Amino acid sequence: MAHKKALGSAKKNKDSIAKRLGVKIYGGQKAQAGSIIVRQRGTRYVAGANTMMGKDHTIFATIPGIVHFITKKKTGYNSLEKIIKSISIIADKK
């Protein structure tokens, strides 16, 4: 005879699926026009030359070429330096 009532399983133990964020094409690799370079939440990377940023902050190539990552220091309004990571596409030489 049981001394405790049987309990049901937990209801809120489900996990959401992964969103597959991150860098998809790395520096030095070739990218086609329209190919996704980075999927991100927020602006961890900003769009540089020959790239554009989508409404969900995805950075994609506008021309075919080589992906180039650039790191710059930017001085803010309060004189603090901030590191900006930019992504550009350098056109292929034909």
Mean pLDDT by 10 residues, the chain (94 residues): 75 88 97 97 96 97 97 92 96 81
The answer to whether position 70 is within a domain reads: yes
* Domain of 41, in residue numbers: 22-91
Distance in angstroms (rounded) separating the CA atoms of residues 31 and 52:
13
What pLDDT, on the 0 to 100 scale, is given for residue 43? 95
Distance in angstroms (rounded) separating the CA atoms of residues 10 and 82:
45
Length, in residues, of the chain: 94
The answer to whether position 36 is within a domain reads: yes
What pLDDT, on the 0 to 100 scale, is given for residue 7? 75
Model's pTM, two decimal places?
0.80
The answer to whether position 9 is within a domain reads: no
- Which phi-psi region, left, alpha or beta, contains residue 57 (left: φ > 0; alpha: ψ -120 to 50)? left
The answer to whether position 12 is within a domain reads: no
What pLDDT, on the 0 to 100 scale, is given for residue 94? 66
Q: What total of structural domains would you count in the chain?
A: 1
Distance in angstroms (rounded) separating the CA atoms of residues 47 and 2:
64
Q: Provide the CATH number for the domain around residue 79.
A: 2.40.50.100
Does residue 70 sit in helix, strand or coil? Answer: strand
